[in-house]
């Protein structure tokens, strides 16, 4: 995979968000709309956020949205392959990912779950080593309890 400066910048933002704290679970049972498509600005409008542009390059555009625990990274990609390569690398940092066609939103679990009710998409989860409370961490390390 060719690592570009914009990719490194976005990966750094993902790492910061992933390490900012674990989201607590809860699916609220909300309806998921058809997956949104379009430019970063269009997706941001659908998510009801004012995008703070961080990277504006041919292969990737990235913005920060929201504040506090509701902060998330929204990124759009020029190609499906570029998106998948980025996701494969970024997931090592943990976090929760809402994935659409040529776009990704990254944030805490609750934030990404709420975004899914506006943008649709598929939920994906980062590395179990960086998501200690992640849904794929059932049992393996003897956590000794369940948080409700």
pLDDT exceeds 80 at position 132: no
CA-to-CA separations, 85 to 12, 91, 142, in angstroms, rounded: 15, 10, 33
34 vs 134, more confident: 34
Position 86 scores a pLDDT of 94
What is the structure's pLDDT at 69?
86
Model pLDDT, residue 28: 46
Q: How many CB atoms are closer than 10 A to CB 11?
A: 16
Q: How far apart are CA 126 and CA 134, in angstroms?
A: 9
Helical ranges in 52-108 per DSSP H: 80-90
Asked if residue 44 lies in contact with residue 118, where contact means CB atoms within 8 angstroms, the answer is: no
Q: What is the pLDDT of residue 26?
A: 44
Percent of the chain with pLDDT over 70: 66
Measured CA to CA, the distance from residue 120 to residue 74 in angstroms comes to 14
Task: Indicate the helix (H) or strand (E) that contains 15.
Answer: helix 5-19
Q: Quick check: 96 and 126 in contact, CB under 8 A?
A: yes
Report pLDDT digits (tens) over 41-91. Answer: 999 999 999 999 999 999 999 999 998 888 999 999 999 999 999 999 999
* pLDDT for 140: 40
Look at residue 60 in the predicted model and tell me its pLDDT. 97
Per-residue pLDDT tens for 6-25? 555 555 555 555 444 444 34
């Amino acid at each position: 995979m060719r690592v570009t400066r914009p990719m490194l910048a976005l990966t750094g933002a993902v790492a910061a968000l992933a390490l900012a704290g674990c989201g607590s679970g809860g699916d609220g049972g909300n309806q998921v709309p058809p997956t949104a498509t379009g430019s970063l600005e269009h997706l941001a409008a659908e998510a009801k956020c004012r995008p703070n542009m961080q990277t504006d390059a041919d292969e990737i555009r990235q913005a920060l949205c929201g504040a506090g625990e509701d902060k998330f990274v929204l990124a759009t990609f020029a190609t499906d392959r570029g998106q998948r390569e980025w996701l494969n690398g970024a997931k090592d940092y943990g976090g929760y990912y809402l994935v659409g066609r040529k776009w990704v939103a990254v944030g805490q679990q609750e934030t990404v779950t709420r975004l899914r009710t506006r943008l649709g998409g598929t939920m994906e989860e980062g590395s179990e080593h960086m998501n200690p409370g992640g849904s794929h961490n059932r049992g393996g390390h003897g956590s000794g309890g369940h948080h409700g």
